[in-house]
Amino acid sequence: MSEIAMPTPNPHILRGRDQIISRLISELGEAMVIHDKNETIAYECDGLSAYRCPPLAVILPGNTEEVVNALKLCSELGLPVIPRGSGTSLSGGALPTEDSIVIGVSRMNEVLEVDYDSRIIRVQSGITNLGVSGEVAGNEFFYAPDPSSQLACAIAGNIAMNSGGAHCLKYGVTTNNLLGVKMVLMNGDIIEIGGGHLDPAGLDLLGVICGSEGQFGIVTEATLKILRKPEGARPILLGFDSSEVAGACVSDIIKAGVLPVAMEFMDGPAIIACERFAKAGYPTDVDALLIVEVEGSPGEIDEQLTKIKTICARHDPAVMRESESAVQSDAIWKGRKAAFGAMGQIADYMCMDGTIPTSQLPFVLGRMQEMAKEYGLAVANVFHAGDGNLHPLILYNANTPGDLEKCEEFGAEILKLCVEVGGCLTGEHGVGIEKRDLMGHQFSEIDMEMQMRVKDVFDPQWLLNPAKVFPITITHSRRNNDQQYKAA
Amino acid sequence: MSKNSVPSSEEEIADIVRKANGDSETIEIVGGGTRLGLGNPVHADMQLSTSKVSGITIYEPGALTIVAKAGTPLSEIEKTLAKEGQHLPFEPVDYCALMGSKGKSTIGGVVACGISGPKRYQAGACRDSLIGVRFINGTGDIIKNGGRVMKNVTGYDLVKLLCGSFGTLGILSEVSFKVLPLAETTTTIVVDDLSSADAVSALAKAGTSPFDPTGLAHLPASKDQPSAQTLIRLEGFANQLEYRATQMSDLLKSFGKVHRLDEKEHLKIWQDVKECRRFAGKPGSVWRASVKPGDAPGFLEHLNDQFDCFLDWAGGLIWIFADEEALEKNSGSSALTDTLRQALGGMGGHVTLVRANDKNDVADAFQPQAAGVAAISAAIKQQFDPATILNPGRMNSTSK
């Protein structure tokens, strides 16, 4: 069994299972409730698949009113609720407990309004990230945040986790592209915040809702900013003999006033794995690869790439390969985009997600390889270099007893290192359960207390995704579910 | 105002707040004192200035981040960044001219008021650049949230909540920003003599082009403005800007006569837009309406010629002015504030009273929110400042 503990399920709820399910069905309708154990198993985990637990039942509402009814009922009965988008969270944000009800928004995936002149789209929250961009692509628009899971992940989950992606150096993350939400609170109240206008009328509640990991309410509709596509984009592939030099090159490019739309970094082990898997034509005799992509008109692209090449030349690169065609651009990105699949072919892996000040890049990468030796586990790095968001992939073997635990311990040490050098535990995946117990390394008790008091406002019963984000030892008295459950 | 305190460290601020909380003394928070007229008036037992909690703590140009204590003058930060060819992307605004205030705007005040300039349309608001805060809540606890890295989803984002909370949730002691490179060159394209409705269409066309304008404003004709000007600001590499300007001019020529401003006019006009100088030094009241850009013409239709207006953010921000004669005719600022809020109808958005001609005639500077949202805001205030000692009354939504 692995290390991250979930609270003991409430035995009263487990014993009341049949009555609870009858109550859910009688009030919400048979079609909305999934309770067969062969079916609830599809909801037992998210992208952090080392942890699994089927929920007591799953509710799939078709509109905001149905979410209201579902939450009201769960609130009345005192049942923990796990909100779920598409279940792609890498931190266990959608992991159920045995005594919980999953409420999924996957049936709510309509586009409600597109207003190009005001640069907004209003959608139901179950729509996928790529579905949003797809809706407006015909008019040369796009939705900027682009997490790797964008084909599958739902906007609801993006909002819950404040998801990022490869292009956020220029365009920001979800919170910078979210203009409004319709959200249902645990007690069934609907609140509407923001919309097509740009500034909040009072406190910036939208800002604190985004990234609250499904602990404040269930977002059913969202107003998102859409942007006109640039005229073009072109990457350049840069290879270096050491990660330190590649890191220095990243910093020099930024200092020179060039703002690439993406700067992706791969270290030696990652390059070899990706090349073997994707055959993208990457040089395998270098220690670090950078993919730097710039946008603009043909002239602007040329000028930026020329600047980048001049800076890069000062760092004595082993490879400098500018894309000259769409085919070449695809090839440059192909390996990077296949990174996670490539790693999966070699071994089981855990993907970490700390952020560091970019000035600490060489030190942290060096220290990570030392730690890899200490733990006897391999680590490969594929990450967003421009913003310092690391994704160390720690390889382990799930069939070797003790390997997962060792891997988690190593991961925790990496994240602590990120905090020590001035960074943070998670840049874009969220805390979930994965980093929950490390929160004390980044925050003091009062820092966390202040955050939890905000949850107290939105969800005084602490029923929404209750065992996530904060160490369960400090949330115990607030969750206090034993006394909350009311027999159905 | 009986007392003034000027603490020189975060710990000293915390000590003062703890004592004030124990003694049920209320505190008005002051940075440089240049924006004190914003929001509802505060009547407090003491004034606490953060001006001595000052200085840049960390600046890493290669990491695009700067960290500074809250009392650091905005000008010091802008100068430091400019030396490295960087800037705060949201174009912070100096309100001295508009508010008739004196003093040195501080970075903490910029964040507390959460006000962004014309570049907000393209580069996001103050809250979008802000990546970390340290603050003292109403019980004297020192809290940190966010940090000094631009990608950070660790815990709840209290950074956004503090930005624009006008000192009602906490006293900022330190703030961190993501910064960006300054453009090599900038220029302005003008379309002449457009109606406000046509101007909003032209600005939408410009804003949804691939040429990435960083300022989209419209100045209708008025007593001091002989003819309407619709402004499109472009930025880029020196060698490439001509291309963008040509493309943009072609795109807009169907709307009217298009021309370029010279460097001096270009700089002045955007400073005027940013600092709302159209209404500076004129007796009267000033409001900001925040609407969906496309709703701007519909909103303007409801306003008669007693008001003077101009548009920023492609229509998303409408600055509104009523002179003393108009105020008198319409029984004052509070009454006109209601009129403007009614003009929004069902379109969403809100109207904020920025400068009341008569300082006692401020019913509610911020537009009241729907009951559910107002209740949440008030409950959050209660969690951060249970005794309501920080800037009591400044934001109606956070008052008891």
Average pLDDT over residues A266-288: 92
Query: Rounded to whole angstroms, how far apart are CA atoms A480 and A475?
Result: 9
State chain B's mean pLDDT as an integer: 95
Q: Express each pLDDT in A19-36 by its tens digit.
A: 999 999 999 999 999 999
Average pLDDT over residues B121-148: 98
Which ipTM score applies to this complex?
0.97
Q: At what angle do helices A64-77 and A17-28 cross, to 10 degrees?
A: 150
Per-residue model confidence (pLDDT) at position B400 = 42
Interstrand relation of B27-30 and B46-49 (parallel, antiparallel or unpaired) = parallel
Q: What is the assigned CATH class of domain B1-182+368-400?
A: alpha beta
Confirm or reject contact between A420 and chain B (CB < 8 A): no
Q: Express each pLDDT in A99-156 by its tens digit.
A: 999 999 999 999 999 999 999 999 999 999 999 999 999 999 999 999 988 999 999 9
Q: Which of B62, B182, B376 sits opposite A254 (nearest CB)?
A: B62
Distances (CA, A) of B196 to A9, A137, B199, B201, B321: 61, 30, 5, 9, 16
Q: Where does the pLDDT of residue B396 fall: very low under 50, low under 70, confident under 90, or very high at 90 and above?
A: confident
Average pLDDT over residues B256-283: 97
Higher pLDDT, A169 or B92: B92
Q: What is the assigned CATH class of domain A111-228?
A: alpha beta
Average pLDDT over residues A86-103: 96
Average pLDDT over residues B208-230: 96
Question: Is residue B55's pLDDT more than 90?
Answer: yes
Per-residue model confidence (pLDDT) at position A1 = 39
**Chain A residues touching B290 at Cβ < 8 A:** 197-199, 201
Nearest CA in chain B to A460: B379
Nearest CA in chain A to B376: A457
**Chain A residues touching B239 at Cβ < 8 A:** 299, 303
Q: Which of A205, A255, A454 sits opposite B373 (nearest CB)?
A: A205
* Domain made up of B277-355: CATH architecture: 2-Layer Sandwich (3.30)
Q: Where does the pLDDT of residue A243 fall: very low under 50, low under 70, confident under 90, or very high at 90 and above?
A: confident
Q: Express each pLDDT in A382-437 by its tens digit.
A: 888 889 999 999 999 989 999 989 999 999 999 999 999 999 999 999 999 999 99
Which range scores top for mean pLDDT: A60-74, B94-108, B326-340? A60-74
Instruction: Please check whether the two domains, A232-340 and A347-437, share a CATH topology.
Output: yes
Q: Where does the pLDDT of residue B170 fall: very low under 50, low under 70, confident under 90, or very high at 90 and above?
A: very high
What is the percentage of chain A residues whose pLDDT exceeds 90?
84
B208/A228 touch (CB, cutoff 8 Å), yes or no:
yes
Task: Give the angle A295-A125-A450 at the CA atoms, nearest 5°.
Answer: 90
CATH of region A232-340:
3.30.70.3450
What phi and psi values does residue A326 have, to the nearest 5 degrees? -60, -35
State chain A's mean pLDDT as an integer: 94
Question: Is residue B397's pLDDT more than 70?
Answer: no
Distances (CA, A) of A346 to A269, A281, A286, B358: 11, 19, 20, 72
Distance of CA A216 to the CA centre of its chain: 17
Q: Which of A172, A356, A425 sits opposite B124 (nearest CB)?
A: A172
Query: Could you tell me the fold of the domain covering A11-106+448-483?
Result: 3.30.43
The pair of structure tokens assigned to A140 is: 């040369």
Q: What is the assigned CATH class of domain B185-274?
A: alpha beta
Interstrand relation of A288-296 and A262-267 (parallel, antiparallel or unpaired) = antiparallel
Which range scores top for mean pLDDT: A239-243, A366-370, B12-16, B396-400? B12-16
What is the least distance, in Å, from the CA of A337 to any CA of chain B?
Answer: 20
Per-residue model confidence (pLDDT) at position A486 = 83
Q: Express each pLDDT in A314-371 by its tens digit.
A: 999 999 999 999 999 999 998 888 888 888 888 889 899 999 998 898 889 889 999 9
Domain parsing of chain A, residue ranges: 11-106+448-483, 111-228, 232-340, 347-437
B209/A228 touch (CB, cutoff 8 Å), yes or no:
yes
Numbered ranges of CATH 3.30.70.2190 in chain B? 185-274
Containing H/E element for B217? strand B215-219
Average pLDDT over residues A186-198: 97
Q: Where does the pLDDT of residue B398 fall: very low under 50, low under 70, confident under 90, or very high at 90 and above?
A: low
- SS3 of chain A: CCCCCCCCCCHHHHHCHHHHHHHHHHHHCHHHEECCHHHHHHHCCCCCCCCCCCCCEEECCCCHHHHHHHHHHHHHHCCCEEEECCCCCCCCCCCCCCCCEEEECCCCCCEEEEECCCCEEEEECCCEHHHHHHHHHCCCEECCCCCCCCCCCEHHHHHHHCCCCCCHHHHCCHHHCEEEEEEECCCCCEEEEECCCCCCCCCCHHHHHCCCCCCCCEEEEEEEECEECCCEEEEEEEEECCHHHHHHHHHHHHHCCCCCCEEEEEEHHHHHHHHHHHCCCCCCCCCEEEEEEEEECHHHHHHHHHHHHHHHHCCCCCEEEECCCHHHHHHHHHHHHCHHHHHHHHCEEEECCCECCHHHHHHHHHHHHHHHHHHCCCEEEEEECCCCECCEEEEECCCCCCHHHHHHHHHHHHHHHHHHCCCECCCCCCCCCCCHHHHHHHCCHHHHHHHHHHHHHHCCCCCECCCCCCCHHHHHHHHCHHHCCCCC
Higher pLDDT, A385 or B152: B152
Q: Where does the pLDDT of residue A2 fall: very low under 50, low under 70, confident under 90, or very high at 90 and above?
A: low
What is the least distance, in Å, from the CA of B350 to any CA of chain A?
Answer: 6
- Assign B49 to helix, strand or coil: strand
Confirm or reject contact between A172 and chain B (CB < 8 A): yes
Per-residue model confidence (pLDDT) at position A482 = 59
The pair of structure tokens assigned to A200 is: 């909040």
**Chain A residues touching B207 at Cβ < 8 A:** 119
What is the percentage of chain A residues whose pLDDT exceeds 70?
99
* Domain made up of A347-437: CATH architecture: 2-Layer Sandwich (3.30)
Confirm or reject contact between A120 and chain B (CB < 8 A): yes
Q: Where does the pLDDT of residue B1 fall: very low under 50, low under 70, confident under 90, or very high at 90 and above?
A: very low
